[in-house]
Amino acid sequence: MNIIRYIFLLPLVLISLQVQGSSDTLFRPALRIGLDVGGFARRFVEPEVMMSEVSADVEWRRGFFAAAEFGLLHVDVEKETHRYKASGNFFRLGSDFNILERNPQSIHDVLLLSVRYGFGWMQHESPFIIISDTYWGDYETSVDPEKYRAHWLEAGFGLKTELWNNIFVGWSLRGHLLISRTRDADMEPYFISGFGKTNGSTALLLHYQIMYRIPLR
């Protein structure tokens, strides 16, 4: 997917420009913790998938954030011909870089470029699978519970804005690129923990967050 390539290349170019022009004048470091509500909203579109996620970032230098995210995944797909169940966890580590000129009236609002490393692990199974055949008749089988792991890279952009008194809302769009996954699995997962649907080696995820900022000094 060409859009995934552009998403990965754009942060590298703009981050280099930000590094050249950054300044620490009158800077106050801060910790921001948040909840990603995008996973709950996804239930309206994909009721079979439930992904919850918490995050934290620290602005250790003006415009530069160290970020960490952790989450849980639960999938339950039930059709006439099969049932699929999965549960797992994931984490992401990386950085955000602000490219927005700070406004004195909204000094904490940021437009971010993001890069992440992600790792997800899960267990999934298919208690029953019905294979239809007009000649031989239906055949029922199953796939026993098995473990699945995946590593990936992410890059994207997003916006965070202060609503009131250190309470923020924000969104981000990130492209995901698989770099390693469980090989020779009996069954490919419907949804990889923290990564998304397995459409080849790439995916796009949209995040919506509510956050609280805690000044550190």
pTM of the model: 0.81
What is the chain's percent helix, strand, coil content, to nearest 5? 15, 65, 25
> pLDDT at position 69, please?
97
pLDDT of res. 19: 46
CA–CA separation, 136 vs 131, rounded Å?
Answer: 10
Which residues pair with residue 18 across a beta bridge? Answer: none
Closest to 61 (Cα-Cα) out of 101, 113, 96: 96
Q: What would the two tokens of residue 120 be? A: 């997800």
Residue 17 confidence (pLDDT): 47
Which residues, at least 6 apart from 184, have a Cβ–Cβ distance to it below 8 Å?
none
Tell me if 102 sits within 8 A of 85, measured CB to CB: no
Q: What was the pLDDT predicted at 36? A: 94
pLDDT of residue 123: 96
* Residues of the chain falling short of pLDDT 50: 13-15, 17-22
Residue 3: CB atoms within 10 A of its CB come to: 10
What's the pLDDT tens digit per position in 92-142? 999 999 998 777 667 788 999 999 999 999 999 999 888 887 777 778 888
Measured from the Cβ of residue 180, the count of other Cβ atoms closer than 10 Å reads 10
- Domains observed in the chain: 2-21+29-215 (2.40.160.20)
